[in-house]
Amino acid sequence: MAINFPTSLDVFTDPTASDQLNLPSHSGQHTDLNNAVEALEAKVGADSSAVTSSHDYKIAQLEALGTWDTWTPSYGNLSGGTTTTARYVQIGKLVTCVWVYTCAGADVSGAVTVSLPVTAASSCVSSAVGTARFNNVGVDVWEGRATLDSTTTVQVRRLIDDSGSTKLRPISSTLPFTWGATDILQAFWTYEAA
C-alpha cells in the first residue's frame, strides 16, 4: 500500500497475533511505516529547516514576527542631541515605530521631520499616524501628533487650541517652548508599508 500523507491521513491495518507474516505483508507494513515516518519528518522538518513547507520553517517565521529592530533616523531641522530610542516592528505591511530624542541644547530649528525605517504607502501621506510629546524637562509636557509628510518622513507637530478648535502646528525653535539641554521629543506611530 502506498501512503497518502500529507495529502490525507493513512489508515494502516494492525496485524493480530494470529495473522501470518504474509497476510498482511510483513515487509509491506514495514515499508508503509517507514514511508509514513519519512513523510512526517519531512512535514515537521529538521531543526533550522530551510524547507519552506516544513513546520519548523513556518514556526520560525511566525516567531520572527513581532521582533523589534532599530533604525538610524535622519532628521530635518533637528541636530546636536542624541537619538535615545529608534525602534520599529513590521508585521506584514503594518509598521509601528517608537522614537525618543534628547536635546543637547537648542537642537530644534524648525518643523522637525524624522525619516522612516520602511517606506510608507502613498495612501498614508498627510495622515496623522501617531502621538507625540514634547517634554520641557522640569517645567511641562506638550502633546502632539505624528503625521506622514511623505512616504519617507514623519513630522512631529504640536497640538494647539485655537478658539475652541484643536489644530496641528509645526514645532519651532521657540514653540511649544524654547528648547534646551535635556528636553525630550518623543513619538509613537503606526502606518502601512508600501
Per CATH, which fold does 69-192 belong to?
A: Adenovirus Type 5 Fiber Protein (Receptor Binding Domain) (2.60.90)
Q: What pLDDT score does 100 carry?
A: 98
Q: Which three cell numbers mark 127?
A: 495622515
Q: What pLDDT score does 61 carry?
A: 78
Phi, psi values for residue 147, rounded to 5°: -125, 140
If DSSP states are collapsed to H, E and C, what string results for 150-170? CCCEEEEEEEEEECCEEEEEE
Residue 145's CB is within 10 A of a number of other CB atoms, namely 20
Q: What is the pTM of this model?
A: 0.71
Q: What's the length of the chain? A: 194
- Name the residue ranges covered by the structural domains of the chain: 1-64, 69-192
Model pLDDT for residues 6-55, shown as the tens digit of each residue: 888 878 777 777 777 777 777 777 777 777 788 787 777 888 888 888 88
pLDDT at 70 over 80: yes
